[in-house]
Amino acid sequence: MSDSSGSPRFVVTLAVLACALAFPFVASGYHLYQGAQVLILAIALIGLNLLTGFNGQISLGHGAFFAIGGYGAAILTVKFGVPYWAAIPIASLVCFGAGFLFGFPALRFGGLYLALATFALAVATPQILSYKGFDAWTGGSQGVLLAKPQAPFGLTLNADQWIYLVCLLWAAALYWAARNLATGRIGRALIAIRDQPIAAETMGVNAALYKTACFGVSALYAGVAGGLSAIAVGFVSPESFGLPLSLSFLVGIVIGGLASLGGVLFGALFIEFVPNLADQLSVNFGESAKALPGAIYGLLLILIMAAMPTGVAGALRAAMRFAERIASTGKAVQVEGGSLNPTETTGKQGGT
């Protein structure tokens, strides 16, 4: 399906963007916060999908890069007085460097071994952030408080509206960049390395460079998301970046659909709202059901994977193909019926 101005994908993208732009002017402050969190999660999922979906490198440690971006933006803003709009890019570049460097030893691993290496990274990061020797920078277990930014240039927007729009701008720009990367020569090289690494190297693809660079770009996306999260929440602490965060990122790209950039929105919605839904359902069972949220969450995850094994994006693509087949069949019947009628009429006229 092409990306031309008349394609369904382009129309859907414009419709989603229009709804996203209108949302801050009709939603409450709490719903704006939730919307900003969905956009932030979507940014992190785009980066992880580039790494895992397109390049085949499984990462269970992207919460660590999310934490680096969050703490980097917080420290630059609070300790050095750097404005938030500059702190986020700087922190994301630090994440790119960290991801690129981590990509070199990751070249020696693959599959489950790489997953375990990144798992160790996710486990170690909160412990490092809470280390007493870094208290002067990270605030230890107490974390770092940030002031929410106000809208500039005299815009009549409150802080929640402005933060949401900032997150939307970042999400749109990074989605556009990832779309161009994935559909171009680099994206084809990443997919070739994922599917046929030996053949890709035979064709002259520098697998080591592409894999390390992809790790760095993926970490950059996570860093941007972490910096935006710090600004949106106004607080960072080691407990916010534990192993469950990294696991939720992996769940998000699987739910949305591997190697589907548009599907990350569904994955972000799942991460943001399904745990809350599980909590609300468990409340109906009283105090004896304190352990039910996890069970309900797991059951919903199993049901979604059973119904949509290729993720939401894959299910939507299958539904669109089915609708196109039905439409083409209907058109064929109409054309066949239209061609027969004149012939029959002519035959009758000739007989008379």
CB atoms within 10 A of CB 234: 15
**3-20 average pLDDT score:** 77
Structure tokens at 146: 């940030």
pLDDT in tens, 76-102: 999 999 999 999 999 999 999 999 999
CA atoms within 13 A on the CB side of 48: 38
Q: Tell me the pLDDT band of 349, cut-offs 50, 70 and 90.
A: very low
pLDDT in tens, 189-247: 999 999 999 999 999 999 999 999 999 999 999 999 999 999 999 999 999 999 999 99
Instruction: Report the alpha-carbon angle 130-131-136, nearest 5.
Output: 85
Supply φ then ψ for residue 144, to 5 degrees: -130, 135
User: What are the boundaries of each domain within the chain?
Assistant: 27-243, 319-352
Which residues fall within 8 angstroms of residue 42, CB to CB, at 6 or more apart? 171, 175, 264, 265, 267, 268
Which of 211-215, 258-262, 282-286, 302-306 is predicted least confidently? 282-286
